[in-house]
Structure formats: C-alpha cells, structure tokens
Amino acid sequence: MQGLMMDYPLTMDRILEHAARMFPRKQIATMLPDGSMHRYAYADMHRRVKRLSKALCTLGVQPGDRVATFAWNTYQHMELYFAIPGAGAVCHTLNIRLFPDQLAYIMKHADDRIVFVDATLLPLFERPARDAGCVGRVVLMNAPKGAAVGVPCEVLHYEDLVAGADEDFEWRSTDEGMAMGLCYTSGTTGQPKGALYSHRSMYLHTLGINQAAAIGLVESDIMLPVVPQFHAMAWGMPYAAAMAGAGLVMPGPHLKADALAMMIEQEQVTVAAGVPTIWTALYHELKKNPRDLSRLRSLGVGGAAMPRSLIEAFEKELGVSILHAWGMTETSPVGTVCRLQEAHEELSDAGKWDIKALQGYPIAGVEMRIVDGEGKELPWDGEQVGELQVRGPWVVRQYYRMEPSPESFTKDGWFRTGDVAAVTPDGYMRITDRTKDLVKSGGEWISSVELENALMAHPGVREAAVIAVPDEKWSERPLAVVVADPDERKPSQEELQGFLAKRVAKFWIPERFVFVEEIPKTSVGKFSKATLRKLYSAGQLE
C-alpha cells in the first residue's frame, strides 16, 4: 500500500524561498577584490536570483543545459547556485586551479556553452575556453564595460542580465529528479570524471549536513566557506546556510591566512570550513597575530586528514573546536562527520583529540562498509583495514556521460571510494590511505597518512607528505617530503627518525627524507602525491 502524503518535490528553489520568507534580512557579506565588503540580505538575493533565472531562459537556456561558472566564492556565485538550477539548467562549477588542458577537456566533455566568469580570472579562462571550442557566450562578473575577452564568443555582463529581467518568473525546476549541479573530480589519475547532482540529492544532502550530529548550522550562525565553490559545491555550505537562515561571509579571492583571520574576527564568524592546509596557515597566523575568536564555535575541516597535532594545537592553544569530516565530490560531498558522543565525555582532552582525529561516523543518509581484496565485508574492530564503500541518496551511481565501471561501482550497488579505512566498533571511520598511496614494504602495508600525521606532530615540521618509492630489497619504501617550520629550529633527518621511532612500527620509519620549501598542492589545496611521485619516482632525491 502507498502512503497518502503530498507529492512535494525536493527542489533547491524551495530552500531559497524559505530563506527569503523566513530570514529576509539575514546578511551575506562578500569581500570584493579591493578588500571592501559587499553586503546584502537573502531577500535581495532572492529577487536577483529570480531575475537571473528569467534572463537565462530568455537567452535560450533549456532544461538540462550545462551553464558553467569560473569564479571565487562570492554573492554572485551563490546567486548562480540558485539561478541556474532554478532555470532548470545544471550549474557546472569549473575548478579555476586546474591545468588548461584539463579545463578544456572538462568544458568540452560537459559541452559548456555559457560560462559566468569573474573578471579577475579571465587570464586563466581564455586559453582553455578557446581550446574547448564550445563556449559561445561569456558572462563577465565585476568587469568594466568593453572588457576584452580572448575567446571568440558573445560577451555579456552580469549586472546587465540582472537589470534586464524582472522577477515575474516561475521556477523551471519542477521535478526533483532533474540535474542541478555538476562537479568534476580533481582525480589524480585518468581524466576528470563528473558527478551530476540532482535537486533531490542536493536537497537531502543539505538536510543531512544540517543535522545536529553533522555540521548543524542554525539561524544564529555566521558561516565562512573557505572551501571553494568550485570544489564539491563548497561542501554544500551555501545551501545549508540558506536553509538554516545563517549569515554568510564569502571570502572572494582573499584566501591568505591574515585576511581569513581578519574576516573571522570582524564578521564574527561562528563556523568556517576548509582543507587542513588552509587551517595550518591560519594557526601560524593566529599565533603571531592573536585575534578575538570567541564567536568561532567550530572549524570544519575535510578534504584531507587533519593531523591530530593541529587539532590539539587549535583546541589547547587557541580554544577553537575542530570538526573533522570526510567526503568526496562523488558523495555531494559530506559522508562522515566526527562528533563526539556521550561515551566520550569522560575522556581526558588527549583522549578526545584522539577521537577527533578520526574521520567520524556516517551522517544519517549515508551507509558505509569496508571490504577486503575479494570484496568480503570486514568487521568494525578498529584494526582491520579495507576499501571503504558507501551508498546513499547523495552518492553517485554513475559518472556523467560514462558507463558505470566495476572499478568504481560494485554489482550490489555500492560506490567504491578508493579510500582505505578501518572502523571502530562504534562506527568511527579512520582513513589510513588512498588505495594508490599505500606503501607496500616487504609485503606489509605502511600508511602514508599515519606517517604524515606522526611527522607533523614534530614542532619543527610544518608539513609532511609521504609517498612510496621503489626499493630493490623491499619493493617499496616510504619517502618523506618535509617542510621545516621557518619559525623553529630545523630538525635533522636523524631527529625525525628518532621522533617517529616512539610513534610507529620500526619498519615504517623512512630512510629517505627530502627537505623542501613547499609541498606541491593539488587544485583544491591537498598535497599532490602525483606530483611528488613524478619528482621522486625513481627514488632520486634531487
């Protein structure tokens, strides 16, 4: 028998309508390129989004068309997050930090014909757009009239589109199954692959991350998404903020630690979200130039493992609470969040930090399991390590314009994450590696992530990345690439080995260390192991 409830489509326009009706005066602040603040409220955003959706339809955008963005985190980008899906189209966020060839491939693969581009990013955009050959219209944001665009196409201006339409517009997102967003993975191997989100999946993800056990934004929050809007929909934070009625602070191009510290203090940010490298830089900035962080209730971190030492440093020295989460572009992205439970209350601070360094447990809506090489499910005993697989209403079942392949999807309907993890009996997941980053030495696995975390706990180490290099005797050995902390005495290799000896098994300790000025990062700010492997693949140290 079927239930007798309304057939109410879960579409993203509902979230904007709710924000405008319930929280019309809540503020969205954006730091503009010149450092000044643009401020307006959800009611203003709602009006402009309607105009923009209508303008898109007037331009001939059809349901399902991809409309791309090439932009920083700004109020305009947030408007596009609603306006493009509201016009029935798919908001395809292009990653501004990718190599031109990859960008050209992605634009072509998605057949992006209209792209909204931040004027300051034009130099990065022109070559890939020319190579892609499909872009017929560019809409410039924050550009002077007559600005030259080195792509043969029609050039429009964002504010003209907004001004040229009115608000009398019916949302075209009529069916929750319609696609609304497209993000390509920053995949380190092979060509980038697209995750195509639906209204339903993104709506449920928004509800999912706003659970109290997850990120749990509320109306009194002020959210700073440092995670870029071109990376997995900024982890869904703009939508979560709108649903909760929380204020937003958009950093625009200002991602340096001093600017972020200033924004957190002046705008009274309560929750911020970003990758660990951003927070490492912020920690050092705050130690040098202390700020009033009393309103900051939670620093959300994901995208890569947050070293326990940094969690401890933030909480003990700065009084800032860390919220560690795991996710992937393919999981919309949030899958697990590390909230402490009642049973942890009696733990010492050190015991609590041990837990907080784990990636956490699945938020309701996501299921996970770990399996061995044969696909057999492994127990949750905190010890056994296997491939992490997930499923749920905001997990991809297929990549955009690709057949579902067994490397990514199991026959029984699970997504293969490519992460390797152990799970404690109470369901807390600990990522030990990516399948391809594990080091196999003499037949035994060594976790590069655990070695990195152990190294980064040394006061003289600012960043450390570990990769496998070929070894005649052991087939592979770990190589540690280390950035010494410029404010501390530089540790020697022997000192670091001695430090590790107290923390990891003897056979894990690298014989080879390279000290560098900076670890190469991926387009979304994670350590680029692929680049390191290229640099040191033969085990050469120079």
Return the residue of 181, 225, 238, 333 that touches ligand AMP, per CB under 6 A. Answer: 333
232 is an interface residue for ligand AMP by CB under 6 A: yes
Sign of CA dihedral 49, 55, 58, 60: negative
**In the complex, least distance from residue 329 CB atom to ligand AMP, rounded to whole angstroms:** 3
Categorise residue 50: left if φ over 0, alpha if ψ from -120 to 50, beta otherwise: alpha
Residue placing its CB nearer to ligand AMP in the complex, 45 or 431: 431
- Indicate the Cα dihedral angle 460, 465, 468, 471, nearest 10°: -30
Q: Please select the residue that binds ligand AMP; options are 417, 448, 453, 528, rule is CB under 6 A.
A: 417
Q: Which region, judged by CB under 6 A, interacts with ligand AMP, from 165-173, 222-230, 412-420, 486-494?
A: 412-420
227 binds ligand AMP (CB under 6 A): no
Given the complex with ligand AMP, which of 42 and 527 has the nearer CB atom?
527
Say how far residue 478 (Cα) sits from the centre of its chain.
27
What distance in Å separates the CA atoms of residue 262 and residue 83, rounded to the nearest whole number? 31
Q: Which stretch binds ligand AMP (CB under 6 A): 58-66, 138-146, 219-227, 296-304?
A: 296-304
For residues 230 and 93, the answer to whether their CB atoms sit within 8 Å is yes
Pairing of strands 179-184, 90-93: parallel
**304 binds ligand AMP per the rule CB under 6 A:** yes
- Residue 445: active-site member: yes
Shortest Å distance, C-beta 352 to ligand AMP = 17
Residue type, 106: I
Count each helix (H run) and each strand (E run) in the chain, helices first. Answer: 15, 25
Which letter does DSSP use for residue 541 in this model? -
For residue 385, the minimal CB distance to ligand AMP (Å) is 14
Could you say which of 159, 188, 256, 445 is catalytic? Answer: 445
Q: Does 302 bind ligand AMP (CB under 6 A)?
A: yes
For 462-490, b/e burial (b = at least 16 CB within 10 A) is bbbbbbbbebeebebbbbbbbbbbeeeee
- The answer to whether residue 224 forms part of the interface with ligand AMP (CB under 6 A) is no
The nearer residue to ligand AMP, 271 or 524, going by C-beta atoms, is: 524
Tokens of 159: 């504010």
Q: How far apart are CA 527 and CA 518, in angstroms?
A: 10
> CB of residue 428 vs ligand AMP: minimum separation in angstroms?
12
CB of 536 to ligand AMP, least distance (A): 21
The answer to the question of residue 361 lying near ligand AMP (CB under 6 A) is no
> Can you tell me which of 184, 326, 428, 513 binds ligand AMP, judged by CB under 6 A?
326
Q: Is 510 in the site for ligand AMP (CB under 6 A)?
A: no
Among the options 185, 270, 280, 417, which is catalytic? 185
In three-state form (DSSP H/G/I as H, E/B as E, the rest C), the secondary structure along 149-187 is: CCCCCEEEEHHHHHHCCCCCCCCCCCCCCCEEEEEECCC
With b meaning 16 or more CB within 10 Å and e meaning fewer, what string describes 99-111? ebebbbbbbebbe
- Direct distance between the N- and C-terminal alpha carbons of the chain, in angstroms, rounded to an integer: 69
**Catalytic residue (choose from 126, 330, 450, 476):** 330
Number of residues counted as binding ligand AMP (CB under 6 A): 20
Query: Binding segment for ligand AMP among 261-269, 299-307, 394-402, 463-471 (CB under 6 A)?
Result: 299-307
Does residue 309 interact with ligand AMP by CB under 6 A? no
Say how far apart CA 99 and CA 117 lie, in whole Å: 17
Query: Closest Cα partner for 166 from 65, 251, 52, 61?
Result: 52
Please identify, using beta-carbon distances, which residue of 229 and 359 lies nearer to ligand AMP.
359
Of 436, 440, 490, 534, the active-site residue reads 440
Active site residue 330: yes
Q: Is 324 in the site for ligand AMP (CB under 6 A)?
A: yes
Quote the tokens at residue 197: 């989100």
The residue nearest ligand AMP at its CB is: 329
Catalytic (active site) residue 440:
yes
Residues designated catalytic: 185, 330, 440, 445
Footprint on this chain of ligand AMP (rule: CB under 6 A):
185-186, 232, 302-305, 324, 326-329, 333, 359, 417-419, 431, 434, 524
